[in-house]
Amino acid sequence: MDLTKALAELRSERDDIDQAILSLERLAGSRPRGRGRPPGHKIGAVRKRPIIVPRGSGDRIKTAAE
């Protein structure tokens, strides 16, 4: 086997291994997804709508969740 050919193959394999290592390091460095229920801003906040209070209570408007 020619020595220069063997060196070229080893360099090629080394480049492939370096790429695999970089990919795995990126995966390990990324933040994993959290467990459980997502925060409210991701699932849509609850809209509030005004509830009209009867006339005898001083014409106040209260808000309540739908």
Are 64 and 48 contacting, i.e. CB atoms less than 8 angstroms apart? yes
Domain extent for 39? 3-65
CA–CA gap between residue 22 and residue 30 (Å, rounded): 12
Strand partners, 64: 49
Structural domains counted in the chain: 1
Distance CA 65, CA 49 (A): 7
pLDDT at residue 66 in the model: 45
pLDDT digits (tens, 9 = 90+) for 1-53: 699 999 999 999 999 999 999 999 888 887 766 777 666 665 556 667 777 76
3 state DSSP class of 44: coil
- pTM for this structure? 0.43
